[in-house]
Amino acid sequence: MISIKTGLSLIVVTVLMSISAYATADTMIENANGYTLNRQQKLIRFDALVFDDSGKITAVGHSKKLTRQFPLAQRINLHGKTLLPGLIDAHGHVLALGHHQAELSLRETRTLAQAQERISDYAQRFPSQQWILGGEWNQVNWGSGRFPTAHDIDAVVSERPVWLSRVDGHAAWANSRAMQLAGIGRDTPDPVGGKIEKDAQGNPTGIFIDNAMELIRTVIPPASDADNRMALDAALRTFAQSGLTSVHDAGVSAEADRLFREYAVNDRLSARIYGMISGTDDFFERVSKEGPLLSDGQDRYALRAVKLFADGALGSRGAALAAPYSDAPDTSGLLFQTTPVMAAMIKKAADKGYQVNVHAIGDAANRQILDGFAALPAVARKAARHRIEHAQVLAVEDIPRFKELNIIPSMQPVHATSDMTMAEQRVGHERIKGAYAWRRYLKQGSQIACGSDFPVESANPFWGMHAAVTRRSRDGEPLQGWYAEQAMTRVEAFRCFTLDAAYAAHQENIIGSLEKGKWADFIVVDRDIFTIPAQQMHQIQVVQTWLAGKVVYQNEAPSLK
């Protein structure tokens, strides 16, 4: 027989245990139109989500059941609005995005004359700037049939140096003053992996491709610590407004790493950052002594990958092709490194325990990198989840090697709709079959990690999902979609910006879907991505962004019941 005293003690313990269970389940989101993926990567629906004080998800399901299970939870009513996992951009440039917002943009110019007018106006508005920086120009849109020249800038700004990068970041345009400060002349040789465009007389025209850009960059005053902080703050605001709760930074410098660590420690990172060390030189040598940073404790910052470059971009004809360009038979682009050197760089980073992520656009570059990965031990290669960033133009027969070698294709769907006006001109009808070929990868079982390559493209992930599903411009062209047979389904596009992007960062157990034990990273949007007309997907607006159970962006106040 149990004594009265013992019985009371058991009741007290039971009550305390019940209260403890409820106490950590602080908040319940209810009346939501919720979507997530389960561990089998299947789309599931729910209308309620519970998370505790630590910012971890406690339960996902239906309001009636969860209300009974967590009666003390604070309740937030979404009144039927759509709730999704926080979105992930698997390839971008964080500080560059922030800096970009204060620089000159030529993205919307449609003629060289418009670009010149923008340059002149910017110079007049900012007379104290030592250098005029910016870019995003695209000579294809100008219809001039040529690259611009230094003289084109000199005509409007000649006394101050001007340095403007092409929209893809793989070519840049300088005026004569900038070249003078860098000591560039007719006798300046092309660096390995780069090209200085020259005229018929051998004089530099003002266009610098890929590694040649460093000749000018080295004389540009570096951004100050204050500039970098402002850039990071601006980038974080953009991520929150766009519904991005995690981004992969494709090229982290020593300065960026220091800043990211500081912000993480001080709880100032309103988006998770998965970092890729830029190259295997001095910074890598220093930081790799401690090995990869898998997490900062709250999973706000990780530095466990290395970013390498194999070639340039298609638009500037710097992408390395196995055969000459269809519209420029005198060039096949540029490999940045010899095959032995590139293989050694891949091995160096892999041997230190890092995931190796290599930029490769052209078919020759992709083949070089696939060969480099093939030389690594198979077991370690599988565990590392190495990636090829962009994987843009491949020989069709090389695509199965991604699956065979356990290499992740990290791709940016919006590049296809941006490049469709020139891509086939560059590579021809036959090679285009292996370009932007998402369906080929998905059919063989490859997991695609999707991103945007911001600030080359907008950081808005709904623009990327729209491009993935429709293969049309945001204006609706072409009507049937550009090589529409390579399009993704809506679920596949959703998955590549969530769970598959998380997998590509070894983070599928903590983010990427809304499941018990994962971080409560989620967004509320103004319409249902799975039921609206596909052509409207890019119009979706973010209402709220939550990170670890806290609101980091709010366009509309939640309703508390």
pLDDT value at residue 102: 84
Asked if residues 365 and 389 have their Cβ atoms less than 8 Å apart, the reply is no
Share of the chain above pLDDT 70, in %: 95
Residue 326 has pLDDT above 70, yes or no: yes
pLDDT at residue 39, rounded to an integer:
84
Of 465, 470, 474, the closest CA to residue 493 belongs to 465
Sheet holding 559-560, edge to edge: 57-61, 48-51, 27-30, 74-77, 559-560
pLDDT band at 168; cut points 50, 70, 90: confident
Read off the pLDDT of each residue in 128-148 and give the average, rounded to a whole number.
91
The predicted structure's pLDDT at residue 559? 59
Q: What is the reported pLDDT for 557?
A: 62
CA distance 406 to 374: 10
Q: Helix H segments across 147-213?
A: 150-154, 176-182
Span 29-65, pLDDT tens digits: 999 999 999 988 899 999 999 999 999 999 999 999 9
Residue matched to tokens 């055969």: 323
Segment 232-254 shows an average pLDDT of: 98
Residue 561 has what pLDDT?
52
Q: What is the pLDDT of residue 453?
A: 97
What gap in Å lies between CA 108 and CA 125, rounded to an integer? 19
Q: What pLDDT, in 10s, does the model give residues 460-485?
A: 999 999 999 999 999 999 999 999 99
Tens of pLDDT, residue by residue over 87-132, are 999 999 999 999 988 899 998 999 999 999 999 999 999 998 899 9
Say what the pLDDT of residue 115 is: 97
Instruction: Order the strands of the 204-210 sheet from edge to edge.
Output: 104-105, 132-137, 162-166, 171-174, 204-210, 194-198
Instruction: Give the burial class of 406: count Cβ atoms within 10 A of its Cβ; 0-12 exposed, 13-18 middle, 19 or more buried.
Output: middle
Read off the tokens for 392. 């843009």
Tell me the per-residue pLDDT of 400-424, one tens digit each, with 9 for 90 and over: 999 999 999 999 999 999 999 999 9
- 111: which residues sit within 8 A by CB, 6+ positions away? 142, 143, 144
Whether the CB-CB separation of 86 and 243 falls below 8 Å is answered with yes
**Is pLDDT above 80 for 300?**
yes
pLDDT above 70: residue 17: no
DSSP state of 504: T
What is the per-residue pLDDT for 13? 37
pLDDT of 11 above 80: no
> Residue holding tokens 């465009």?
197
Mean pLDDT of the chain: 93
49's tokens? 């989500």
Q: What is the dihedral of CA 93, 96, 101, 105, to 10 degrees?
A: -100
Give the pLDDT score at 128: 84
Lowest mean pLDDT among 13-17, 226-230, 408-412: 13-17
Token pair recorded at residue 555 = 């366009």
Q: Beginning with the edge strand found earlier in the chain, give each strand of the sheet holding 387-390 in spatial order.
A: 87-92, 244-252, 272-278, 301-309, 355-360, 387-390, 408-411, 449-450
Calculate what percentage of the chain has a pLDDT beyond 90.
89
pLDDT, residue 558, reads 57
* SS3 assignment, position 289: helix
* 8-state DSSP, 80: T
What pLDDT is recorded for position 335? 96
Handedness of CA 64, 65, 70, 71 (dihedral sign): positive
Give every CB contact of residue 514 below 8 A, 6+ residues apart in sequence.
34, 36, 46, 49, 57, 60, 85, 520, 522
Residue 9 has pLDDT above 50, yes or no: no
φ/ψ of 311, rounded to 5, equals: -160, -170
User: Among the listed ranges 32-36, 169-173, 249-253, 392-396, which one has the minimum average pLDDT value?
Assistant: 169-173
pLDDT at residue 7 is higher than 50: no
